[in-house]
Structure 1
Amino acid sequence: MYSIQTIVKKLHFGTNIFLGVSFKMFSDEAKFIKTEKVLVVSKLSKYEHEKIRHKNLSEQELEALIRNRGTDYEKLIHHHELHNRFKENVVSTLRNMGCEVEVVNRLNYTEDKVEKADVIVPTGGDGTFLLAASKVKDNKKPVIGFNSDPNRSEGYLCLPKKYSTDIRGAIEKLQMGKFDWLMRSRIRTTLMVSEEENLTPIYLHGIDAEDSIPECSCSISGVKILPVLALNEVFMGEKLAAKVSHLQMRLNGSTQMTNLKCSGICVSTGTGSTSWHLSINRLPAQSVAELLRLIDIDATEGKDSLATILSEIYNKNLIFPPDDKRMGYTIRELISAGVWPQPKGIKPRGFATKVEVKSNCFDASLVIDGGVSFNFNDGAIALLEVFPEDALRTVVLKD
């Protein structure tokens, strides 16, 4: 019989091995990044969003509207100016290093501009990085992000926070090849619908950028590969969170469909495993402590307690490598009572190389990276797969 201390040591050792190897699977291709033409993708600040939403208001009227709402106007302006100063610093640094720079944002970022650039540089946080990645359709064009507000944002997809104050140093490393390639897997979604209008994209950021994502037209019998790849995740379920989602799921080409009642299905990449996937599946120290008490261990939930240590180990092991060819699926709040699921036995969380989901929902959506949605109602079928040619080319800088 192992002691609790022995179990913890073994678990911790296994976690260290996992984390140690997860970022070593890089391409052996020659490391060279051309930086003659740089496309900087800047985030829209919250203040800019407000200006666009209320474009008929004067500056004074907009300020009054925001203040009456109870929003801290000074804070809004502060973070707007903070981001703009950072963006200008990135642009001026690149130009001083001899780069030709064009700056775009959500409203005028197009695939044509991506095609003309040598490298895409999102400037903002993870949301801006996801936006920048959405227009890159192959695994050739590198995407390298700077976190414009490292004190408020983690920016997992961006370069480490120290490079937010050393932009030149980061660019020099890229030019000298002092980095490793990281090919982040992305999910390709094929949607089969009975009505072509169900393939019209719906934007979830409050601003519809014209021509941002082309509308899909059915190619063969209502079957279409969606024109945006998922870097983080694909979610399928009822739009109203309180409604039960009726879905059928099939994994890895199985001939058997499983009927489900749940709160939706989230299918994640390794990149997305640090995001929504982790939040859905995270095990809090409180739950671990309650389990330990069931086996007569007097557990607490303090910082260095056994419950906290086990919780941290469990949660770290939810994360898988960004270049993993598998997808991690999660059935949110799976109803496991009576006849559900049909048939029994499906795991609420696992890995798959192919995921097929059929909708029996009333008013559902399929959402890619939390930014663009497609109707996913009764009869619609989504096939989710990962292909090497769809990977996103990013970098890990060497210290």
Structure 2
Amino acid sequence: MWLLARRQLLKSFRLGKRKGLFYSSRSDQPSSNGAGFSPRKVLILTKLSRLEFEKIRHSKLNDAELEKTLRERGSDYSSLLYHHYIHKGCESRVEKCFQEFGTETRLVNRLNYNDECIEWADLIVTTGGDGTFLMAASRIPDQSIPVIGFNSDPTRSEGHLCLPKNYSVNIREAIKNIIEGKFKWTFRRRIRVTLIGENVYDKPVELHDQQLQHPEFRFFDCLQEQLKSVQNNGSSAQPRKRVLPVLALNEVYLGENVSARVSYFEVAVNRDERIKTKNAGMCVSTGTGSTSWSYNISKISPQIVSQIIEILADEGVQGISAKTKSFIEKITKLYNERLTLNPEMKDMLYNIRDPITSYTLPLAYDLSPRGLARRLEVRSRCFDASLVIDGGLSFSFNDGTVAILEVHDSDALRTVVDIRND
């Protein structure tokens, strides 16, 4: 309830603040094109380069000592330095180009990305890769503040969530078109998670922080604020229901922390009856996340396609015979392409990893290992499990805890899908 009230308050404030700037007169939803968009304040969230990361880890070493330590470890220090300067060059060009068009800018990194600077901005721009984009998106509660990403080093990452790679070089052209409204919006759906259970307010683990003395991902001052409000409400009874203060842009993973241990869930798809399933974990993705972990769980190889064709031929299926390598690769490609979905799709895509088939129940009682859902309810029967948001924030998910996963229109993240050059 606290999170929903906070979201509504922020949404009302932002809608009033930006009335006539971001939204069309037809409804309270943003227009699909960029006409009328004129950001005055741009927050630039920049990644920590590997070199900066190492400097934080070894804060007591000077530059010469750090170089020696990294070289002794076997790291290519020259390469770290080279890619650090590539990233910093992109970061600098993005900031200068926005300023050239009369836009006020603030430059922050992951250590000082907080609610205050988000509230200040009309637009959040990331310079980095998909990880930096996900970090920016994690704290945006609704569609009022859009996020746009520049891939600062496209030779080292795909940057699926960022603008096309050519804009990593043509930064000024991209920013000019953004300022002039020559683009289209896309609304990437995100997953809202509600936890029900005895320990749903246990402090989460920020997985990306584990090697840093100081947090690299300060996802959420609001996590601590929410925890304090629960502890100070004058009641010794801990609430049993919690809407998590983060939204998953890519995926939610549920499973035992030790990968060798079997995960055990009871799953209800779209309010149907619960089905018991034992597996190696469950990955629930958005259309955006269907190109990431979800894709790699489900993709097939040319070897599998070749073996299926051989079996069909051996079984006497007409028209099936030995095929060329190019044909097998074509079939493989066509199948794998169908695994990726539209980021604006309202359904979630769930994947059951390595499901253990039940031999004591009819086949119909086994949960399909892959499918679409508008709502998922998962009850944990696990010993030491976690629910992980976008690979970054891990919540305890042990026996008896229930997770309800849903997609709401109001939770969509607004970003740029296409820049027009006309």
TM range (shorter): 0.7 to 0.9
How many residues matched?
A: 369
| 2:360 aligned residue | 339
SS of alignment partner, residue 146 of structure 2: coil
Q: CA shift at 1:72, angstroms?
A: 1.1
> Are 1:151 and 2:155 matched, yes or no?
yes
Q: What is the identity, as a one-letter code, of the residue corresponding to 2:266?
A: Q
| 2:21 aligned residue | none
- Equivalent residue runs for 1:123-138 within 5 Å: 123-138=127-142
Write the distance in 2 (CA, Å) between the matches of 1:368 and 1:386.
Answer: 14
8 A contact 1:27–1:183 mirrored in 2? no
Residues 193 and 342 from structure 1, CA distance in 2 versus in 1: closer, same or farther, beyond 3 angstroms?
farther
| 1:83 aligned residue | 87
Write the distance in 1 (CA, Å) between the matches of 2:181 and 2:362.
Answer: 52
8 A contact 1:247–1:357 mirrored in 2? yes
- Equivalent residue runs for 1:240-251 within 5 Å: 240-251=258-269
> Are 1:316 and 2:351 matched, yes or no?
no
Q: CA shift at 1:238, angstroms?
A: 0.9
Q: CA shift at 1:65, angstroms?
A: 2.1
- Equivalent residue runs for 1:26-65 within 5 Å: 27-28=31-32, 31-65=35-69
| 2:198 aligned residue | 194
Residues 90 and 378 from structure 1, CA distance in 2 versus in 1: closer, same or farther, beyond 3 angstroms?
same
Q: What is the identity, as a one-letter code, of the residue corresponding to 2:142?
A: D
| 1:294 aligned residue | 311
Q: CA shift at 1:87, angstroms?
A: 0.6
SS of alignment partner, residue 260 of structure 2: coil
Q: Provide, for residues 1-28 of structure 1, a one-character-per-residue CA deviation record: whole Å limited to 9, x for no partner.
A: xxxxxxxxxxxxxxxxxxxxxxxxx954
Aligned-CA RMSD value: 2.0
> Are 1:268 and 2:285 matched, yes or no?
yes
- Equivalent residue runs for 1:210-225 within 5 Å: 212-213=219-220, 214-215=222-223, 216-217=226-227, 221-225=239-243
Write the distance in 1 (CA, Å) between the matches of 2:90 and 2:359.
Answer: 56
8 A contact 2:50–2:84 mirrored in 1? yes
| 1:229 aligned residue | 247
Q: CA shift at 1:377, angstroms?
A: 1.1
SS of alignment partner, residue 346 of structure 1: coil
Q: Provide, for residues 166-206 of structure 1, a one-character-per-residue CA deviation record: whole Å limited to 9, x for no partner.
A: 111111211222111101100001111202552x2211113
SS of alignment partner, residue 295 of structure 1: helix
Write the distance in 2 (CA, Å) between the matches of 1:78 and 1:166.
Answer: 20
Residues 379 and 85 from structure 1, CA distance in 2 versus in 1: closer, same or farther, beyond 3 angstroms?
same
> Are 1:238 and 2:260 matched, yes or no?
no
Q: CA shift at 1:388, angstroms?
A: 0.6
8 A contact 2:34–2:184 mirrored in 1? no
Q: CA shift at 1:30, angstroms?
A: 6.4
Write the distance in 1 (CA, Å) between the matches of 2:51 and 2:217.
Answer: 20
SS of alignment partner, residue 78 of structure 2: helix
SS of alignment partner, residue 382 of structure 1: strand
Q: Provide, for residues 265-298 of structure 1, a one-character-per-residue CA deviation record: whole Å limited to 9, x for no partner.
A: 1100001111111111001111001111112322
Residues 341 and 279 from structure 1, CA distance in 2 versus in 1: closer, same or farther, beyond 3 angstroms?
farther
> Are 1:203 and 2:206 matched, yes or no?
yes
Select which of 108, 113, 116 maps to 1:109.
113
8 A contact 2:284–2:349 mirrored in 1? yes
Select which of 318, 326, 347 maps to 2:347.
326
Select which of 383, 395, 400 maps to 1:362.
383
8 A contact 2:206–2:217 mirrored in 1? no
| 1:23 aligned residue | none
Q: CA shift at 1:358, angstroms?
A: 1.0
Residues 139 and 341 from structure 1, CA distance in 2 versus in 1: closer, same or farther, beyond 3 angstroms?
farther
Q: CA shift at 1:56, angstroms?
A: 2.2
Q: CA shift at 1:210, angstroms?
A: 7.8
SS of alignment partner, residue 93 of structure 2: helix
SS of alignment partner, residue 75 of structure 1: helix
Write the distance in 2 (CA, Å) between the matches of 1:335 and 1:41.
Answer: 43
Structure 1 stretches of 5 or more lacking a match?
1-25
Select which of 399, 410, 414 maps to 1:378.
399
SS of alignment partner, residue 308 of structure 1: helix
Range with bigger deviation, 207-216 or 108-117: 207-216
Q: Provide, for residues 296-354 of structure 1, a one-character-per-residue CA deviation record: whole Å limited to 9, x for no partner.
A: 32245x4xx11111111111111111000100000011111423799724210000000
Q: What is the identity, as a one-letter code, of the residue corresponding to 2:385?
A: A
| TM-score, scaled to structure 1 | 0.88
Q: CA shift at 1:384, angstroms?
A: 0.4
Write the distance in 1 (CA, Å) between the matches of 2:76 and 2:268.
Answer: 48
Structure 2 stretches of 5 or more lacking a match?
1-29, 314-320
Q: What is the identity, as a one-letter code, of the residue corresponding to 1:333?
A: D
> Are 1:67 and 2:74 matched, yes or no?
no
Residues 326 and 232 from structure 1, CA distance in 2 versus in 1: closer, same or farther, beyond 3 angstroms?
same
Write the distance in 2 (CA, Å) between the matches of 1:30 and 1:160.
Answer: 17
Q: Among the aligned pairs, what percent are the same residue?
A: 45
> Are 1:257 and 2:274 matched, yes or no?
yes
8 A contact 1:190–1:226 mirrored in 2? yes
